[in-house]
A and B are shown apart, each in its own frame.
Chain A
Amino acid sequence: MTGGAREKVLAGSGAFGIFDDELERVRGLLKTRVNADRDNLEKGLAQLVMTLVELLRQLMERQALRRMEGGTLSPEEVERLGRTFMALSERMDELKDAFGLTDDDLNLDLGPLGNLI
């Protein structure tokens, strides 16, 4: 945490690093804003596609969780869905590494609607 941010802390210490991902998010947003029309088109396109895939993955995971909690999935279906999500999660991690992206890069600012994810 920087000096300016530290002066703003009213409660809690933040000593265990929960601001680290926020700093990454801000850096990601700044990069997105300023590089959109420059030399990062390939990475930008990958980021956009992966953001949409990540959104769908999260929505499907949540839906599966609700169905699992509602008892409408058999153990075999839970196993199959879990394996699919696990494989997708691993593949997304590999792609993020390949393109030098973090979790917080996979988001979109939708103006008044807030963030996509």
Chain B
Amino acid sequence: MTVYLYAICSADAPAPPWLAERGLRYVERSGLAAVVGDEPGDLTAPSEEDLWAHEQVVESLMDAHDLLPARFGGLLRSDEEVWSLLDERSAELRRALDNVRGAVELAVRAGWRAEPDRRGDARSTGSEYMADYASHDARARALAECLDDAVSALARDKSVRVLPRRLSAVTGAYLVDTPRVEDFRRRIERLNDELSDAEIVCTGPWPPYSFAGDASR
């Protein structure tokens, strides 16, 4: 019988009292526990509500203890397959758990207030095309540096991408100690006050999906 994976945590982490009421349970192996349940509805036609339902379960678990969140849609064939996952990857999962302990993920998107022109036909020569690309690239990298200067010191880990020709020029995930979330937020707000052509949107706190390694996939 298939099982649906919500998260992986230490087997020592006490199961929240509501776990069984929601049809969830621990599958334990190698000192780790996978929080699983039955397949939630039809995964071949998921809706946004389904994604939020998954998110709410993971966040409720995160309120109880540290965990490695699984992304939406993680199905395993049986409890035996869960045991294999925990056995084979126990060292890696423990390292990932240590890495995220006491921290949450904050997502950051830095975008231009006006869409960059990405269509080739807006330029008449090859040199103009390359100059335009160089300009977008330099602008996006400068924005990424600005963001990095503002918040990196507050993050335990980060994953940042620069996308020169997208409306969202910089996207980042930051692993931040829970007590530092408010400082992080304030720094983003301050940076937004200084930027005239871009805005930075910060969302969270999220379970640390970007820092969970294989557990999240």
Residues of A within 8 A of B (CB): 2, 4-5, 8-14, 16-22, 26, 30, 33-34, 61, 64-65, 68-69, 75, 78-87, 89-90, 93, 103, 109, 111-112, 114-115
Contact = CB atoms under 8 A, between A and B. Distances in A.
B196 interface: no
Nearest to B129: A82
A65 B44 CA distance: 42
Main secondary structure of the interface of B (DSSP, over half): mixed
B102 interface: no
Given A10-B203, A16-B199, A111-B217, 6 more contacts: A11-B192, A13-B199, A78-B126, A83-B125, A84-B126, A85-B120
Contact of B43 (A12, A20, A34, A65): A34
A87 B124 CA distance: 11
Nearest to B192: A12
Interface in B166-217: 166-168, 181, 184-185, 188-189, 192, 199-204, 206, 213-214, 217
B203 A9 contact: yes
Secondary structure class of chain A's binding surface, majority of residues: helix
Interface of B: 43-46, 48, 51-52, 55, 73, 106, 109, 111, 113, 118-121, 123, 125-130, 133-134, 137, 159, 161, 166-168, 181, 184-185, 188-189, 192, 199-204, 206, 213-214, 217
A12 B120 contact: no
Nearest 3 pairs of A and B residues by beta carbon = A82-B126, A18-B111, A83-B126
